[in-house]
Structure 1
Amino acid sequence: MLIGEVARRSGVSTRMLRHYDALGLVRPTGRTVGGYREYSAEDVRRIFHVESLRSLGLSLKQIGHALEDPAFTPSALVGDLIRWTEDRLEREQELLERLRAVEASAPADWQDVLRIVALMQGLGSTSAAHRQQAVLARQGSAPVPAELLAGAVLTESDPHVAGALRWALARSDGDGVAALADGTRARDVDVRRRAVSAIAGMPEAPGAAEVLTDALEDPDATVRRHAALALGRRGVTAAVPTLVGMVVEGSRDVEAAEALGALSRDPGCADRIMSALAGELAAPTADSATRIRLAQALVELPGSTVREVLRRLARDDDPAVALVASVFVTVLDERSPEDRGDGDS
């Protein structure tokens, strides 16, 4: 077959076939009387072999070595090709994410594009100070996409930079909660903690309560506590069991007690909280320190039942518990009926 027919049948251009010939990769075994290249069936098969190996990413030099050396083993080279391809795909994925971030910012001109690119470069700095500066020094008309800031929040380990990012995310265009929601389901517990902490800092954001309520079932205690405190401040009663548990465990117990106090403004919820705290006081596992923390939490609640429980606790066998409870009873007795929330005169 002449070169034109080989090109039509193989899909390889005549120019590339001549290049293969010049490299000695696929040389036609014959020539016509007029000196034209003439390819045998074996030559055509070799062309298809070359194209098959090219499809795997081998260079022409590597292909020549593979086809000519009988001792050539593909395993090592294929392993290298896999690593090179993975690196290339990672770089292309990074490029794709950058392009999407620029597109999401709806730039009005190239200056807006350059500002977004500068922010992305700043966020990629190895210096925490530079990353923080990149967030706080942002200027210009181009809004920062919530997805870009959320991605940075989920990977940022420096607390100062993380705080700046959460601040910027809360003020960004777009749905910050939706951008962070996937992070609450991540396998990495640190990512889940960052996601919930960031969502907790956006109290008015739509969908925040739903995401945080789901986080109450997280296997990590820190995630559950972040979510419970944020929900308690929002008046979501689903947080009550976790908040009571925090008081018992002594984990951010003062904040948990304040959140329970805020939730107890709802009379129905107040009874539920009162029962939960009283039940923990009666538990045989409640040591002196636990009973003192529970007493401190009770003071945050309204109603006469609180004083009754504290008066009983003032007769506790442990002098420290009894003293704390007595002081709290005195404090409650000195409050006005409105402050006590029980209507006493």
Structure 2
Amino acid sequence: MAWLPGSLVFWAMLTLIYLIAPGCSVEVKVPIEPLSKPAGEAAELTCSYYTSVGENFALKWSFVQPGNPISSAETILYFTNKELYLTGPQAKRATLLQNPPTGGVATLRLTDIRSSDTGTYLCQVNNPPDFYNNGLGLVNLTVLVPPTKPTCGQSGQISVGGGAALTCSSSGGAPRPVYTWVRLGSAPTPAPGSMVQDEVSGRLILTNLSLTSSGVYRCVAANQLGSAFCELTLAVTDPSKGRVAGTVIGVLLGLLFLVVGVFCLLKFQKQRIKKPREIYGGNDLREDAKAPGVYDSLPRRGNTDVGLLERSPSASTVTTTKSKLPMVV
């Protein structure tokens, strides 16, 4: 009976020791500051850990793109059972500077980095029974890319007294480019508040436009690695001048049509004067007129008509069977 309490005390003490000190925790350390590197260069992501490396030691590097949850991370490489395995789209450009990574440091090296490499990298160490910590470190990498050539545009009422919005946007560049608008050439200084630009969105707002607002405007997109620009020509119109010009053109066309009409009328009258009409009285006879019933030649109707043809009519009058009125020849 005396043995039982002693045994109970022993097992109780052993359980207490197990609960108080079940094993060493795994501690992973990574740089606090994010890492930035230009595109095309190599980036080294440092990761150090503290644990008693055993047969169950395992190391994994993984990657997650910006805006995605950690759970969606893709594995780049992992080390287990004393073997290194490379996986994922970055496998050909990834390696460990320490291989095997069992000395407390496991630095990941990426060569020929590109904009798609921007994101968060996870260094995870697993070493049972030392698992009383997550054993996880996060490293943020930003790949620097110069801005691409921006695109310029304009909208609004581009006329005197109106307003215009000039836009500028670059499809690429990391960090995000800053946009600056400048007006080229020598021109009067615009009134305060008539030009307002947003360096983040790339918009330039022009108000109370005048003819002197016309000109060439340049937008420059810039970041740490370089700059690029685009240009556009702003042409401000004056509607009042357009109306005056239209009125003048209308008057000139009206005068032209009037002149052409008068010219045609005068020409027509002149032709009528040159060719007067011939008017004959009702009882007057023309000298070349022929009396009714008299013909230039008479058809022959046999010998009986010869005597009639040989007779000559009177010199003073001609009598026909159709008309007995005297006719002067």
Using structure 2 for the length normalisation, give the TM-score: 0.23
Using structure 1 for the length normalisation, give the TM-score: 0.23
**Larger gyration radius, structure 1 or structure 2:** 2
Which has the higher relative contact order, 1 or 2, with Cα contacts under 8 A spaced 6 or more apart? Answer: 2
Identify, as 1 or 2, the structure richer in helix.
1
